[in-house]
């Protein structure tokens, strides 16, 4: 194992903070540079709109980092069922018991995951947190990468890991291009409080206007996800919570319980993929390298797989020159991320297609998958990262 090697991590979101913590636990000396540091949320605060479905593999990584146990029980929901269907057709049903698993995954707020990671980083002697800081410049030589921060501080390291999100300023400083397109759709997130106990099934209905999804949250909370045109989302955003509830009752798939709208917000959907994952001694991870249509909740899970891959290489292939090591990382992660992006696009486009034949094909795929036994379970295990 390499000891006392310095690494700069830019961006302390879920991906950057996990990267920094796992590397620190391997003995690396870490500098985290974060523009907007994580604030510790209050245990009884209302649920934040930004929630993610975490795969079992992602949970395992957070356990490896020692922070899974720190997520408060009342902010974490395990789900045992996942259902998806094309409007007016049969459901494709996944059940954890069929897979011999306790759960299919977990739903939690992004800010809580980030917060427990930051609390653990603060306890590490070999981590320096540079809060409210950005990079001014990056210079590279054969043996080192040197950055200047906006307080003029200069840091030299063996490796720079950029985890500064979809609009990565580091990626731009490195002059790494992206391929990108706008989905011409937005996603409305609506937090509700229901009149029934905690649910354990997440579902998604595909419609011509885009998917509608239900994500259970801890206790009697839930997140509704409504994909639609930017015009429609703008109209929905202009409604107050009572008007929005009425609109949900009219237009959203039927909910089997009473509820109140607590919070709402809209997010544009853009697909981006970096044309290269590294340059010299700087490497991209998470949303800095790729953003994906969130319809299957894979974004941060892919980012965590990037983390696992780079960590394994840095720990187990430390004899490789850095350029070869980073090439291996790119060769391992780029095709996988591209495949997942493309798979999500096929689902997204076919659900919006007005062509009967395309929608029939999608229905056939869902019907075939439901009746495919082992194959269905294999698909689910792949999505769970197992
Ligand atoms: C509507 C929606 C729903 C989603 N649902 C899911 C889901 O269910 N499951 C899932 O797996 N994924 C989901 N995703 C995707 C997931 O949210 C992202 O993949 C994930 O947040 C990316 O994490 P990250 O750490 O790479 O980037 P970010 O979360 O964007 O973090 C980047 C960090 O870098 C910091 N930063 C930014 N610029 C700079 C700078 N110049 N210098 C220093 N620091 C900087 C930021 O402050 C932030 O802390 C969803 C996304 C959307 C939009």
Q: For the segment 25-82, what is each residue's pLDDT rounded down to a tens digit?
A: 999 999 999 999 878 888 889 999 999 999 999 999 999 999 999 999 999 999 999 9
Looking at per-residue pLDDT, the higher value among 250 and 351 belongs to 250
**Ligand 1 near 12 CB (within 6 A):** yes
User: What is the per-residue pLDDT for 106?
Assistant: 97
Nearest to 359 by CA among 351, 368, 348, 367: 351
- The angle formed by the CA atoms of residues 110, 111 and 115, to the nearest 5 degrees, is 120
Indicate which residue's Cα is closest to atom 38 of ligand 1: 164
pLDDT digits 0-9 by tens, 72-122: 999 999 999 999 898 878 888 999 998 889 999 999 999 999 999 999 999
- What span, in angstroms and rounded, lies between the C-alpha atoms of 325 and 341? 24
Rounded average pLDDT over 190-195: 96
Pocket of ligand 1, candidates 171, 294, 384: which has the most ligand atoms within 8 Å of its Cβ, to mutate?
A: 294
H or E element at residue 361 = helix 356-370
CA trace torsion 252, 253, 255, 261 (10° rounding): -20
Task: Give 209: exposed, middle or buried? Use CB within 10 Å, 0-12, 13-18, 19+.
Answer: middle
Residue 307 reports pLDDT greater than 90: yes
**Ligand 1 near 53 CB (within 6 A):** yes
User: What is the per-residue pLDDT for 24?
Assistant: 98
Between the CA of 373 and the centroid of ligand 1 the distance, in Å, is 35
> What does the longest C-alpha to C-alpha distance in the chain come to?
62
Look over the chain and give the mean of its residue pLDDT values, rounded to a whole number. Answer: 90
pLDDT digits 0-9 by tens, 309-331: 999 999 999 999 999 999 999 99
Q: Are strands 278-279 and 259-274 parallel, antiparallel or unpaired?
A: unpaired
Indicate which residue's Cα is closest to atom 37 of ligand 1: 164
Reading the block at residue 184, the tokens are 């011409």
Q: Is the pTM of this model over 0.85?
A: yes
Sign, Cα dihedral of 236, 239, 245, 246? negative
Residue 3 reports pLDDT greater than 50: no
Between the CA of 47 and the centroid of ligand 1 the distance, in Å, is 17
User: What is the per-residue pLDDT for 181?
Assistant: 80
Residues of the chain with CATH 3.30.9.10: 77-109+183-269
- What span, in angstroms and rounded, lies between the C-alpha atoms of 202 and 82? 5
pLDDT digits 0-9 by tens, 227-279: 999 999 999 999 999 999 999 999 999 999 999 999 999 998 888 999 999 99
Q: Are strands 6-10 and 29-34 parallel, antiparallel or unpaired?
A: parallel
Strand, coil or helix: 5: coil
Residue 1 reports pLDDT greater than 50: no
- What span, in angstroms and rounded, lies between the C-alpha atoms of 217 and 221? 5
234 contacts 265 by C-beta, under 8 angstroms: no
6-70+110-179+271-348 falls under which CATH superfamily? FAD/NAD(P)-binding domain (3.50.50.60)
17 contacts 42 by C-beta, under 8 angstroms: no
Starting at the edge strand that comes first in sequence, how are the strands of the sheet with 105-109 ordered?
A: 51-54, 105-109, 76-79
| CATH 3.30.70.260 correct for 77-109+183-269 | no
Looking at per-residue pLDDT, the higher value among 332 and 376 belongs to 332
**Ligand 1 near 169 CB (within 6 A):** yes
Q: Provide the terminal-to-terminal Cα distance of the chain, rounded to the nearest Å.
A: 26
Residue 356 reports pLDDT greater than 60: no
Pocket of ligand 1, candidates 55, 61, 164: which has the most ligand atoms within 8 Å of its Cβ, to mutate?
A: 164
Residues 6+ apart with CB under 8 A from 78: 102, 103, 105, 106, 200
Residues of the chain with CATH 3.50.50.60: 6-70+110-179+271-348
Q: How sure is the predictor about 205, in pLDDT bands with cuts at 50, 70 and 90?
A: very high
Exposed e or buried b per residue across 98-135, where buried means at least 16 C-beta atoms within 10 angstroms of its C-beta: ebebebbbbbbbbbbbbbbbbebbeebeebebbeebbb
């Amino acid at each position: 194992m390499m000891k006392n090697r310095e690494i700069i991590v830019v961006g302390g979101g879920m991906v950057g903070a996990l990267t920094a913590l796992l590397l620190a636990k391997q003995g690396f000396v870490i500098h985290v540079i974060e523009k907007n540091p994580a604030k510790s949320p209050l245990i009884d605060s209302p649920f934040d709109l930004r929630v993610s479905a975490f795969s079992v593999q992602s949970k395992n990584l957070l356990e490896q980092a020692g922070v899974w146990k720190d997520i408060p029980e009342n902010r974490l929901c395990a789900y045992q069922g996942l259902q998806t269907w094309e409007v007016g057709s049969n459901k494709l049903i996944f059940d954890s018991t069929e897979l011999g698993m306790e759960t299919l995954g977990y739903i939690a707020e992004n800010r809580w995951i980030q917060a427990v990671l930051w609390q653990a980083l603060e306890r590490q002697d070999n981590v320096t947190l540079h809060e409210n800081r950005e990079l001014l410049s990056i210079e590279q030589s054969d043996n080192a990468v040197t950055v200047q921060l906006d307080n003029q501080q200069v840091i030299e390291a063996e490796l720079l890991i950029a985890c500064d999100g979809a609009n990565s300023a580091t990626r731009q400083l490195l002059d790494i291009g992206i391929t990108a397109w706008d989905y011409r759709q937005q996603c409305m997130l609506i937090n509700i409080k229901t009149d029934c106990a905690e649910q354990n099934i997440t579902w998604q209905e595909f419609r011509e206007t885009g998917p509608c999804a239900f994500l259970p949250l801890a206790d009697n909370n839930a997140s509704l996800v409504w994909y639609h045109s930017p015009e429609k989302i703008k109209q929905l955003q202009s409604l107050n919570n009572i008007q929005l509830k009425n609109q949900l009752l009219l237009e959203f798939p039927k909910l089997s319980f009473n509820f109140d709208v607590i919070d709402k917000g809209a997010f544009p959907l853009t697909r981006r993929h970096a044309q290269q994952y590294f340059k010299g001694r700087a490497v991209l991870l998470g949303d800095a390298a790729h953003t994906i249509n969130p319809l299957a909740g894979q974004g941060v899970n892919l980012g965590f797989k990037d983390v696992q891959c780079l960590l394994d290489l840095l720990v187990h292939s430390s004899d490789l020159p850095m350029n070869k090591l980073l090439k291996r990382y790119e060769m391992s992660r780029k095709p996988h991320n591209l495949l997942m992006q493309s798979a999500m696009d096929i689902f997204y486009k076919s659900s919006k297609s007005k062509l009967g034949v395309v929608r029939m094909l999608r229905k056939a795929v869902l019907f075939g998958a439901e009746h495919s036994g082992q194959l269905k379970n294999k698909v689910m295990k792949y999505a769970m990262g197992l």
